[in-house]
Amino acid sequence: MPTSTLESDITKIELKDRPVEKSPIQLAMSRFGHNRLAIAALILLAFLIVISVAAPLLAPYNPIKRNIADRLHAPSLQYILGTDALGRDSLSRIIYGGRVSLWVGLASVVLSLVLGVPLGLIAGYLGGLLDGAIMRVMDLILAFPGIIFAIWLVSMIGPGVNQVILANALFSLPEYSRVIRGSVLTIKDADYVSASRALGCNSFQVMWRHIFPNVLAPIIVISSLSISGAILAGASLSFLGLGAQPPTPEWGAMLADGRPYIRTAWWLALFPGIMLTLVVLASNIAGDGLRDALDPRASTKRA
């Protein structure tokens, strides 16, 4: 009978596509696992992290030891990526330089989360005057174009890697708090929130136990996407002399040091930039992959 085969077909498809066994996290992970480019980017990032951590074992020379006799040495077998104006080995400095960049990227995002998540939760859930006050302060930060905010802040608290991390975190605060606030607003009237309030949870408990876990997806997306921006901003500030201070090896600062010798020592302007581009590219692609895997639209389609 043609009708019965049609019915059996329908049942089969329904059974096969039932997603109930997989949690949202498992689904996201399997989606991410199918994104080959994102996996490659993640492997590259892991590789760079390993190199930075193992820098003392891998670097052929001491990255801050001067050797004026061998200054501005072109790439050779002895110095694979050449030496800088103070005779320091570029390869060793590049290997160590990843530490600063990766640390700035990671620490900026963590600090943004520590500051931005509570602000976004409070602004979204409590609303009212507090919400208005928080959002107006965010407007003030947004009034600074790009790196000007960091420049202004560093001018007051002095140059340095920690100051750059603080500047990055504060500058991305409006984005974090706005995104989180928006997500909170969409779920704060959900039944489970009202139910938890009816059961006697105070505001803090509602925000932390019931709202926060349900806005995790946008939080993860925004943090993964902002790592590359933080690394770039950190390197830019170091290039301007406001971040990592000499003799700390840092890619942006190395490029700034190489700038005066660009006519003769091309290697000083080339290699740190390649590393920086690779790190930023890898974190961009991995971040995009994570966003696609956690895409809120995909999860609503499922529900």
Q: Which stretch binds other proteins (CB under 8 A): 178-186, 194-202, 231-239, 289-297?
A: 231-239
Beta bridge partners of 89: 83
Tell me if 40 contacts other proteins by CB under 8 A. Answer: no
Asked whether position 86 contacts other proteins by CB under 8 A, the answer is no
Binding of residue 297 to other proteins (CB under 8 A): no
Give yes or no for residue 152 binding other proteins (CB under 8 A): yes
> From CA 250, how far away is CA 266, in angstroms rounded?
18
Binding of residue 148 to other proteins (CB under 8 A): yes
Residue 209's CB is within 10 A of a number of other CB atoms, namely: 11
Q: Based on CB atoms, which residue is closest to other proteins, 54 or 262?
A: 262
State the Cα–Cα distance between residues 182 and 193, nearest whole angstrom: 16
One character per residue 115-144, x = contact with other proteins (rule: CB under 8 A)? ---------------------x--xx--xx
How many Cα neighbours within 13 Å face the side chain of 219?
A: 21
Question: In angstroms, what is the minimal distance from the CB of 148 to other proteins?
Answer: 5
Cβ pair 211, 197 in contact under 8 A: no
Residue 239 as a binder of other proteins (CB under 8 A): the answer is yes
DSSP one-letter string for 141-191: HHTS-TTHHHHHHHHHH-SSHHHHHHHHHHHHHHHHHHHHHHHHHHHTTSH
Q: How many residues does the chain have?
A: 303
Q: Which residues contact 249 (CB under 8 A, 6 or more apart)?
A: 63, 64, 92, 93, 94, 96, 97, 100
CB of 117 to other proteins, least distance (A): 24
277 belongs to the binding site for other proteins (CB under 8 A): yes
Q: Does 266 bind other proteins (CB under 8 A)?
A: yes
| Contact call for residue 41 and other proteins (CB under 8 A) | no
- Residues in contact with other proteins by CB under 8 A are 136, 139-140, 143-148, 151-152, 154-157, 159, 228, 232, 235-236, 239-242, 252, 255-256, 258-259, 262-263, 266, 269-270, 272-273, 276-277, 280-281, 284-285
